[in-house]
Structure formats: C-alpha cells, structure tokens
Amino acid sequence: MFASYFNFQYPMVRNTLLDLIPDITDPTGQITQTDSQRIALQPGYYLVSYKVSAIFTSPNYLQVTPSYNGASRLEYGVYFAANAAGSSACGSGFFIIRAPAATVLTFTYSGSADARDGEANVTILKLNRPL
C-alpha cells in the first residue's frame, strides 16, 4: 500500500497547512485524503518521504513541520534560511510513523513570511510490520 501527493507553483502562506493534490492513490483505503490538507492513515507503520521548496522575495526562512498522532513533530521538520532577495529555499525529510490508531498526517508551513512558487512532494508507504 502506497500513495503520493504533490503541489507546485502555489503560494505558501504562513501558519497554514500545505495543500496537497493526489498523484497516486491507495485503492485499499489504508492511506486516504480527508481534504486537500489532511492525509488519513489507518493503524500501522508508515514510511513517509517529503520534499518542499519555495522562493522568497526578501531574506526569510522556510519551515515545514509534520504532525500526526495528535502532535507536531519538530524533529522531522524542514528548516532552510534564505539570506538574499529572490532566493529559493528547500528541504526534505524521511520518517517512520507508528500509528497505533487511525491518525491524520498534516504538514504546516510556519516560515518567517509568505513564499511564492511553493512546491511539495509527499510519498507514503505502509510497512509490512504488525503493531
């Protein structure tokens, strides 16, 4: 079971959840989208890979934080400081989710300013390991 999501050339607005568009959906229902910002995961273990990038018109920083099991996960976040006008910022992360119950996965953009030409890719694989 696996699924992937993306978005590109969209404005990243401070303190909002990333909007994600389905690319490859999971027909088993283990990985589904409840809306454009929330990915529902059934109980189990999941490998998550993600990448984000954006452009700033002035020096700022990009920060994206995943959340699941009811908590923000700063340890799996992406942070990139851009020190020039028109600079791009990017980052990627990989982590494993242990979901003992159904959970919702989100990604929050909380950089220092809004960014333009945002891009995001998320790939999720359900792992074959019992809880």
Distance CA 127, CA 10 (A): 31
pLDDT for 125: 98
The pTM of this model reads 0.96
pLDDT for 87: 87
Q: What is the number of other CB atoms lying within 10 angstroms of the CB of residue 60?
A: 21
Distance CA 43, CA 125 (A): 13
Domain that holds residue 79: 2-126
Question: What is the CATH number for 10?
Answer: 2.60.120.40
Nearest to 63 by CA among 85, 35, 82, 40: 82
Domain presence at residue 131: no
| pLDDT, tens digit (0-9, with 9 covering 90-100), for 75-130 | 999 999 988 888 899 999 999 999 999 999 999 999 999 999 999 999 999 999 99
Q: What is the domain count for the chain?
A: 1
What's the chain's average pLDDT? 96
Model confidence at 42: pLDDT above 90: yes
